[in-house]
Structure 1
Amino acid sequence: MPQDAIRDASVVLHLEVSVAEGRREDFLDFCRRAFPVYESVGGCRMALYEDPAKPGRFFETGYYAAPADYARAERALEEDPVQAALIKEWRGLLAAPPRVSVVHRRALLEPKA
């Protein structure tokens, strides 16, 4: 998925997470390993953002080219044993359950003349 595809993503997944105390570096190492696996399904670009005002608070963001790409990625999380193992490992790094939101791009309304 090309870099500019982030701007044009049709579906965006936001995972707001709090990393367990003392596990920041483990979490960053995990993301370095896991993001390429998630992206390998196709039509996805992952990004990680950190809140400088709140240590341990991160936003994992998945940018999907189309709704079908998001659906395929969700299936892979359930069906692919490698991804299932990654999710289990990920949960062990968190201090609390993640806050999850999925948003879909909508066309802007054109002003009436």
Structure 2
Amino acid sequence: MAGPEPTPPSPYSTGLAGRCPRCGEGALFDGFLKLKPRCNACGLDYKFADSADGPAVFIMLIAGFVVLGAALYVEIAYEPPIWLHLMIWLPLAVIICLALLRPMKGLAVALQYANKAEEGRRDK
């Protein structure tokens, strides 16, 4: 008699940590953003994963909101020269985008696995 199936790990914790969405043990990435072909712990094939541009779009919206809001506040409160704005906000935008890109891509892949998302097909 087989026991109940183990509860799968949370897609949020595994995705944000860059771990396998099925077992939560194996690494999801091979490099900064390239997915591994399969999990080295449980063997899950990652061919199902296609995050496309979703994570990048969300990150641009988040970074744009944070950086633009902060830049507007600093401009209204202190009126610094434009070169100072460029020195502060351009690097900050790049740092925010790069810091969020990998966790958001991992989250997108983990949520695709958890929700059994597939490419749409037409019925004939």
Higher helix share: 2
Higher strand share: 1
TM-score, length of structure 1 as denominator length: 0.30
Question: Rg bigger for which structure?
Answer: 2
TM-score, length of structure 2 as denominator length: 0.28
Which structure carries more relative contact order (alpha carbon 8 Å, separation 6+)? 1
